[in-house]
Amino acid sequence: MVAVLDMGASATRLVVIEIAADRTVRTLEEASRGILLGRDTFSSGVIRSSTIDAVISALDGFRHVMDEYAVTRVRAVATSAVREARNVDVFLDRVHRRTGIEFEIINEAEEARLLYLAVKHTLSRHAALHRAWTLLTEVGGGSTSVTLLKQGQPHRSAVYALGAVRLRQALHLQRLTHEVQLAILKRSITNVIQEIRLDIPMRRVSQLIAIGGDVRFAAAQIMDDASADGLREVPRDKFLEFCAEIEHLDEDRLIERFRLPATQAETLLPSLLVYRTLLAETGARSLVVSDVTLRTGASLDLAETGTRSIEEFEGQVLASAEALGEKHRFDRAHGRHVAMLAGRVFDLLDGEHSLTRRHRLLLLVAALLHDIGLYVSLRAHHKHSQYLLSASQIFGLTDEETAIVSNIARYHRRGLPARSHLPYVALDRGDRLVVNQLAGILRVANALDAEHLQKVRDLRLVRRERAWTLELDGEGDLTMEQLAATARADLFAETFGRQLLIRPTGVQS
């Protein structure tokens, strides 16, 4: 038996699942405790002791449930309300000491990946997932996750500070009249939607898939029955009518009318206002509402159901990287060609390093995006690339992996890694070694397209005792590429312990 715990801004939740021999997943039990962690984090920046006690009490109850099912493996994740708290380390340490449960703080890119994994598994045959452009969104307590799908595959994804609990706390709405609260909420949501519009081509979207407790509640009020796979397809006009109807209900009237718990009454209106505004930005004629959750995605991830192959996952990561490159007006042809050459060198060095396929993916991402710093300035653009990448979210990559990618890109030109470079020394020893190896490869690969003309088509590596020779197959005169790559082979030689000679095929050394 396996369990997934999800500590969010408005509730802490548990799902216990059984993974069959064929790796399919069956939900055995679910439990939830409404604890507004976000109320603390988004108002004061600190999770209060009383709130920590409430979390520990809920987890103790969940622990009894897990013990009854003889759970042997647990994945516990925490999102924005924990991630952004100033006392996050103290909070997690106290939770771990009292409950024995160790929570993993996941970043926005991992949230987006798990949500996509859940939706892809559940809606695999639904037309909504295979439109030219589909928007997948979840409005949570702390943030709004948005993933643009191109024919079912992630194209761009981002998470915005637009959560229902965050909005109420950050805007200090508690003592204002309902009408004033409504006006402030609408204005604040519109401001963030304008930011989303810059990142996502909303007008292209013809289908909107929505997940989240508040939109599920709204869909259940509008539509009588869900399909067998937990879907409700709500017509656009019906959803807009429902939102207009509840606009005029304050929290007390929501509780009275719908018999809602107070925590849900607090988040319902802000959430639906966000969904409504997003829907209005698109050409979608309906809202496909799914009952999947972040926990669904985490459960599928644990089960390794095979719903995504390694190649498919890598394609999704690289598509997200290219979308980031487009945002910064990168040279796509150059980035792709350098990535191809870097991957080729990595493969030729098989047996000379102990790096994995995951490391190869990090190299490809860094190669694609090594020049995005040019968007900021021609001068010292490698440093700007490092900064932009370190501050970005790439679908499927952890914060630690993003830090590695940003450092690899930093060293594609100019100086070598040094103890005086703070982003580099912030990595642990093992990750610094990975950066050295992959940056050594990237420097050579980038130099092999020095003129941005993609003349080098293939590579061969000839190993000799004291030096290795990289032979170039290509079109036209490769002298510039040979000279540039020779000049940039310094980190490669230092890291791999072999001088690297560069020559076109057929030229004798």
User: Quick one: DSSP state of residue 42?
Assistant: H
Q: How far is CA 496 from the centre of its chain?
A: 33
What pLDDT score was predicted for residue 229?
72
Using CA atoms, how far apart are residues 77 and 295, in angstroms rounded to an integer?
9
3-state secondary structure of 468: strand
From its phi and psi, is residue 452 left (phi > 0), alpha (psi between -120 and 50) or beta?
Answer: left
Q: What is the DSSP string of 82-110?
A: HHT-TTHHHHHHHHHHHH-PPPEE--HHH
88 contacts 52 by C-beta, under 8 angstroms: no
Using CA atoms, how far apart are residues 461 and 446, in angstroms rounded to an integer?
17
* C-alpha angle 362-359-73 in degrees, rounded to nearest 5: 105
Residue partners of 352: CB distance under 8 A and separation at least 6? 496
Place of tokens 């959430």: 271
470 contacts 502 by C-beta, under 8 angstroms: yes
Tokens of 495: 């890291």
Using CA atoms, how far apart are residues 315 and 407, in angstroms rounded to an integer?
22
pTM, to two decimals: 0.82
Using CA atoms, how far apart are residues 42 and 462, in angstroms rounded to an integer?
58
Sign of CA dihedral 418, 419, 425, 431: positive
Length of the chain as a residue count: 509
Tokens of 200: 């996502």
Contacts 24+ apart (CB under 8 A), 456-460: 456/341, 456/481, 458/344, 459/341, 459/344, 459/345, 459/348, 460/348, 460/505
Using CA atoms, how far apart are residues 92 and 98, in angstroms rounded to an integer?
10
What pLDDT score was predicted for residue 307?
43
Q: What are phi and psi of 441, to 5 degrees?
A: -70, -45
- What are the C-alpha distances in Å from 431 to residues 294, 308, 391, 465? 29, 27, 18, 28
Q: How many CB atoms lie within 10 A of CB 428?
A: 10
Using CA atoms, how far apart are residues 282 and 293, in angstroms rounded to an integer?
23
Q: What is the DSSP string of 53-65?
A: HHHHHHHHHHHHH
153 contacts 117 by C-beta, under 8 angstroms: no
Contacts 24+ apart (CB under 8 A), 313-317: 313/396, 314/361, 314/364, 315/153, 316/113, 316/116, 316/153, 316/154, 316/395, 316/396, 317/361, 317/365, 317/394, 317/395, 317/396, 317/397
- What are the C-alpha distances in Å from 20 to residues 26, 27, 59, 117? 8, 11, 26, 19
Tokens of 190: 């519109």
Tokens of 116: 């996509």
Q: What is the DSSP string of 274-322?
A: HHHHHHHHS--SEEEEE---HHHHHHHHHHT-SSS-HHHHHHHHHHHHH
What pLDDT score was predicted for residue 172?
82
Residue partners of 266: CB distance under 8 A and separation at least 6? 36, 164, 165, 168, 251
What pLDDT score was predicted for residue 175?
79
Using CA atoms, how far apart are residues 190 and 35, in angstroms rounded to an integer?
28
Using CA atoms, how far apart are residues 462 and 469, in angstroms rounded to an integer?
5
Name the pairing type of β-strands 2-7 and 144-150. unpaired
Q: How far is CA 216 from the centre of its chain?
A: 23
Among residues 433, 429, 430, 438, the alpha carbon closest in space to that of 409 is found at 438
One pLDDT digit (tens) per residue for the chain, 509 residues: 899 999 999 999 999 999 887 778 889 999 999 999 999 999 999 999 999 999 999 999 999 999 999 999 999 999 999 999 999 999 999 999 999 999 999 998 899 999 999 999 888 888 888 889 999 999 999 999 999 999 888 888 888 989 999 998 888 887 789 999 999 999 999 999 999 998 889 999 999 999 999 999 999 999 987 776 779 999 999 999 999 999 999 999 999 999 999 888 989 999 999 999 999 999 999 999 999 999 999 998 888 644 446 777 898 899 999 989 999 999 999 999 999 999 999 999 998 998 999 999 999 999 999 999 999 998 999 999 999 999 998 988 999 999 999 999 999 999 999 999 999 999 999 999 999 999 999 999 999 999 999 999 999 999 987 889 999 999 999 999 999 999 999 999 999 999 999 999 865 54
Using CA atoms, how far apart are residues 312 and 443, in angstroms rounded to an integer?
27
